[in-house]
Amino acid sequence: MMIKDVIPGFELYRPATIADAVALLDQHKADVWKLAGGNDSLSWFKDRIKRPKVVVDLTGIAAMRGVKETADGIEIGALTTISDVEKNPIINKSYKLLAEAAAKVASPQIRNTGTIGGNVSQDARCWYYRSGLPCYRAGGNTCFSDTPEGENREHAIFDANRCVAVTQSDMAPTMIALDAKMVIHNAKGERVVNAEDFFVGPKIDIRRLTQLQPEDLLVAIRIPKEWAGARFYFEKVTDRLTWDFALVNVAAALKTDATGAVANSRIALGGVAATPRRCGVAEQTIKGQKVDQSLAELAGKSETRGAHPLNYNAFKVPLLASLVMRAVRDAQA
């Protein structure tokens, strides 16, 4: 029987600067847990699935909050709340894809405390893993979802490797669509990682969904000005209209030339693989073309190739085709 709602003891630190936080992470490494909004962390703690010896509360680091314009675009502090992303005037003017995705995250209460850094860094939502069962992701030697009896309605249809859990972050596909750069600090200094490299699948590391190590701190997210004012589209399909994770979501950014033809595009799906899935075939299909219904449908169908649905999630194949089709057809400036 699992003990619920009793949080094991830990040491708590509340640094006020990025430098102090990085020093603590470097000192404690594998024993440390980074706490931001806390919406996910406290669930792990109460269920006693995660038992860190040290918790570093990041909420006092003012330098990791807010949205600012830069010469290259905008920079969003990793502790900026989802609500602030949704309502920020700079984002709504030039990068409204972020605001549209933020508005679909969970519920207003969670958006008021949850952070953009936490949303893109969240762990897998597979209920077997979350229940503390010894699956591959938890260090065991089996996948309870990928069996004839397994409940796998929400799981991967692409790029599974032992683990079939998916990223269900709503902000993660927007990071790919906007070609975001993730700013990471550790004791060795700063590194800037393309969003497509930030998210990792089980072939690379089955124990995590991002390349963040315990000693790494996601400090900010940079969005290049190249995509400011583009035509955007975001849609999320869920079982419920609020406080639910995506079965499939899509984020798209399209730029057209003077003739109305697609000059460039970036499209990404969530909920279909361990990482946000870049729709490269669809992007190539529409490049240089004026979008109509037939082209949009072709782009959507092109992204279903290679799908390997499980027992209970074959519905995701036509669903993702429809979402990509609508993203291509209905993206608006």
Pinpoint the alpha helices (H) of 143-215.
172-177, 195-198
Rounded CA-CA distance 152/309 in Å is 9
Token pair for 314:
């074959």
For residue 98, the Cα-to-chain-centroid distance in whole angstroms is 12
The residue range of the domain holding 24 is 11-60
- Order of strands across the sheet with 231-237? 231-237, 248-256, 262-270, 277-278
Report d(CA 51, CA 49) in Å as an integer.
6
What does the CA dihedral 36, 277, 184, 132 come to, rounded to 10 degrees? 50
User: Based on the structure, what is the number of domains in the chain?
Assistant: 1
Give me the amino acid identity at 259. Answer: T
Query: Is residue 34 in some structural domain?
Result: yes
Between the alpha carbon of residue 147 and those of residues 142, 155, 291, 322, the distances in Å are: 10, 12, 41, 28
45 inside domain: yes
Sequence-distant (≥ 6) Cβ neighbours of residue 259 within 8 angstroms: 290
What is residue 4's predicted lDDT score, i.e. its pLDDT?
61
* Residue 17 belongs to domain with CATH number: 3.30.43.10
What's the longest Cα–Cα distance across the chain?
Answer: 65
Note whether residue 19 is domain-resident.
Answer: yes
**Residue 35 falls inside a structural domain:** yes
Helix (H) or strand (E) holding 194: strand 189-194
In angstroms, rounded to a whole number, what is the distance separating the alpha carbons of residues 164 and 142? 11
pLDDT at 2: 53
In order, the DSSP letters of 73-128 are EEEEETT-BHHHHHH-HHHHHH-HHHHHHHTTSS-HHHHHH-BHHHHHHPPP--HH
* Ranges assigned E (strand) in the chain: 11-13, 32-35, 54-57, 67-70, 73-77, 181-186, 189-194, 217-224, 231-237, 248-256, 262-270, 277-278
Asked if residue 105 lies in contact with residue 118, where contact means CB atoms within 8 angstroms, the answer is no
Is 314 inside any structural domain?
no
Pairwise CA distance, residues 170 & 7, whole Å = 28
Query: Does any domain span residue 29?
Result: yes
| Residues ≥6 apart with Cβ < 8 Å to 147 | none
Identify the H or E element spanning 280: helix 280-286
With contact defined as beta carbons under 8 Å apart, do 213 and 207 qualify? no
Residues 6+ apart with CB under 8 A from 109: none
Which regions of the chain are under pLDDT 70? 1-5
Flag whether 267 is in a domain: no
Instruction: Flag whether 245 is in a domain.
Output: no
When computed from its CA atoms, the radius of gyration of the chain, rounded to whole angstroms, is: 20
CB 49: neighbour CB atoms within 10 A?
15
Look-up of token digits 């279903």: 304
* 248-256 and 54-57 beta bridge pairing: unpaired
CA-based torsion, 258, 72, 275, 237: positive or negative? negative
User: How many CB atoms lie under 10 A from the CB of residue 251?
Assistant: 31
